[in-house]
Structure 1
Amino acid sequence: MTIAHAHQPTVRQGEWRRHRCAERATGVSAGLWNAREAAWRTQLAREEEEKALSEHVGWLDNFPLRELTSRNILRDGSKNVRNLRQLLDFFGVATPEVAENVWLGYQAAFRRSTVLSRNEYATATWLRLAEREARKQDCEPYNRAALTALLPRLRELTLEEQEIWTEELPRLCAQVGVALVFVPALTKTNISGATRWLNSDKVMVALSDRFKTDDQFWFSLFHELAHVLLHGKRLTFMDDRDNLSPTKQHEDTSEDEANAFAANVLLPPQFIAGYRKLAATRYLPLAAIETFAHTAGIASGIVVGRLQHDRIYDWSQGNSLKRKVTLT
């Protein structure tokens, strides 16, 4: 029984015999018949895929197509099968259903700091952009002690112009196992930063330019690094709130811990007495802020941000000392 079954022709064997018969009848080689058959089947598969995808073109309506075009994810903003296929390739999936199932797991993995109105599809796009960039980066294996020792040097970079720190921050972080990437904010994403372990030796820290000012940017950086240092390799975080609120309480204590960590890195304990004296100054002038910032070795805009969140300054005051941050 087994021997007889083993000698039964397979489908491929059956095709080969059929093509040999066609070869004898027409004089065209069996190899050419095989090639034509394969091409025909490939074409059928493409047509079936095209038909299946054409039923899902409306899925593109969920995305900010103009921004996807400007980021070179899509060729243009057209709603067609070509762009749908290109978007699926970007996410590394075959169908919209698979993409959304992946995102459900992705969103469950990320511990969000709060719940704000957002476009989940734009958020998924931003995270995918960040992860793709992070995976490209060559990093040394993660070294917690080395990252901790690096923090003062990273803090010093707050005094530099953007063209310097955009080069230095990723370079320095890569030396300790952190793939730091800058991804411009997408409309309605509300994300200031995200942290995700790509493997046990490499962690992604992604930052956006949602808030457009240096005080917010630097707080976001040290907030995300706090997650790396304090909260373990099994947890991932997506921070999508006004993260310059060191006194605000969150349901997830990890957010409060990250806020406190960032606040302490930017304004270490040895400068708190001077800060309190500054904050108690009546009719606080900008020159006094600049003098204190110089003493503390930090950008003046960061001090302004702290004063605003401590309600010493109104949100409209002191902003001339902040520097704009625009990522490209």
Structure 2
Amino acid sequence: MKSRAFATAAAITAALFLTALLLSACGTGGQAAAGTSGDEADGTDRAAGGGETLTVRIGYQKYGTLNILKADGRLDRRLAERGIRVEWTEFPGGPQLLEALNVGSIDFGHTGEAPPIFAQAAGAPLVYLAHEPPSPRSEALLVPKDSDIRSIADLRGKKVALNKGSNVHFLLVKLLEQAGVGYDEIETVYLPPADGRAAFESGKVDAWVIWDPFFAAAETATGARILADGTDLVHNHEFYLGERSFVERHPDVVEIILEEAGKIDEWAKDHPQELAELLSPQLGIDVPSLELAAKRRRYGVQRVGAEVLEAQQRIADTFRELGLIPVDIRVEEAMIRPAAGD
């Protein structure tokens, strides 16, 4: 198991390094490698009069509060009133989003619990800003509806697909641990969500650990069976993260983003159908699947406290013990410390 662990750690580190080289080499075009955006990647624009207009570069995924903010447009409108432009870039998962933050392609984003651990271990200048409440039912390990796999113990010797370094990575670790199955007793197949879905449906993998809305879409479209979700096992927080120097230079902008995220959360939690209808055209996912996902998650922007940091540290320590990250990290170091007298 030790050799496999070191191999996994090396693969993760190499992937982050290669992505950094690619994005750095592309300069302002780097976002085309990491995500999709029709805007320039420059952090600022020169106004006609010679002034400098701030552009906030926000990375988002297929689902989450930032996704709702983008669809609604209220954040863009509020920041435009202050002469600030918003540039949105979509990423297939949290690890890819934080790779872009690491090389300076975005300023702000959101991920699950595991991506910041891997990114901090790789030296990314990220800081934790806030989080959503736990949503353990929003991620699960799925098997095909006619699969002979009936328990986590049945996964021994099987192929399990997941997005490397994502929130479901920790869920898989905990499920195996609970069932007494060694991490080296399964074959992990690292695939982003779209490729994971294809492999799952074609039978190239035996199980898939995935999060909403991909989780809900697989349920409704394929009848996939939930072998286990995160209930009573993981928190599955959604974190708001920023690039350290941007957060230190523009705390007022960060506060506006978090404030607007809180407002849209208040609306979303009471309007799952309307939310699904709002997001469906943008995401290309059917309304029933999005409504199912909306009803499984919890809403409300909360500041990062000691309890959440301790939970993140336990995740980091677990990944280190398994050799999934190459160095020890202290999660608390990825926080903005108040200035003396504050």
Regarding TM over 0.5, the answer is: no
Please give the TM-score of this superposition, normalised by the length of structure 1: 0.25
Q: Which structure is higher in strand share? A: 2
Please give the TM-score of this superposition, normalised by the length of structure 2: 0.24
Q: Which structure is higher in helix share? A: 1
Pair member with larger Rg: 1
